[in-house]
Amino acid sequence: MATFQAVKKVVTLSPTVRTLPSGIPFAPLLNTAARAPHDAHGHGAAGPRSDVAPRWVGGISLSSAGLVSKTSTTVSPSVNFQQRFISTSVARKDAPGVPDFSTYRTNPDSNRNLSYFMVGTLGVISASAAKSSVSEFLQSMAASADVLALAKVEVELSSIPEGKNVIIKWRGKPVFIRHRTAAEIEEARASNWQAFRDPQSDEERVKKPEWLVMLGVCTHLGCVPIGEAGDYGGWFCPCHGSHYDISGRARKGPAPLNLEIPQYEFSEVEEKLVIG
């Protein structure tokens, strides 16, 4: 029995389409004015485009004459066309160079009010923070509670009999409180105070004639004088021999000034003396 073996060979044939001297394929049966097929994406109606030259794609096909090779070519358009630009709108002389975005903008008045509100709010917050900081700083420099407690001292005047002295402590210093008799008041005011070392009348040193309030610190070197002693019946400093009269004025010894008068006031309702 005879057998047959088929042999397949691949042959590349040269193009059989003739070309013109200009390089365009010779295709007498090709209608270059034919309408292009409809776009597969449905963009626009079917028909030839006037702005882009058509491109024809070819390939190899089998005909009665054998294998025919088709090549791709671009044929010049048969009608005048204009290139498509970014915008296809009709040109206008009064068209603005920048697009109008007014529909997308917010109301400028409302933005201005919001800006004023934010600036005012930040200003108030900043002022409050600054005030708080300054207040905290000043409070840190203020006197402590124990110092403020000693700033003022109250004394019951009814507990001091006439003709007696009371010594209290105020701000770390002794304070002499003398309930003077009528004879002591007359003696203090009858003196020739203009000739004293530190001239000062008795009226200037007291708010009430019967009550004498002064610091118990010698004006020489800061010693504490002794009450109801000395040559003038007032106070005497044994350290260096300074003598003070019944009004606390320096009369003898090295003391250059009278005994100091602190700040005080009387509470008439409660009959108290408030020092400080």
38 belongs to the catalytic site:
no
Label residue 164 exposed, middle or buried (CB < 10 Å: 0-12, 13-18, 19+): middle
β-pair partners for 177: 166, 213
User: Would you give the distance in Å from CA 183 to the centre of its chain?
Assistant: 70
Asked whether 168 and 155 are in contact (CB, 8 A), the reply is: yes
Identify which of 244, 115, 239 has the alpha carbon closest to the alpha carbon of residue 176: 244
Strands (E), the chain: 55-56, 60-63, 66-69, 73-74, 153-156, 165-170, 173-179, 211-215, 226-227, 235-237, 242-244, 250-252, 264-267, 272-275
Question: How much of the chain is in helix, strand and coil states, percent to nearest 5?
Answer: 20, 20, 60
Distances, alpha carbon 136 to alpha carbons 139, 141, 148, 220, in Å: 5, 9, 18, 41
Distance in Å from the first CA to the final CA of the chain: 147
CA dist 115 → 28, 110, 123, 126 (Å): 77, 9, 12, 16
Give the residue numbers marked as catalytic: 240
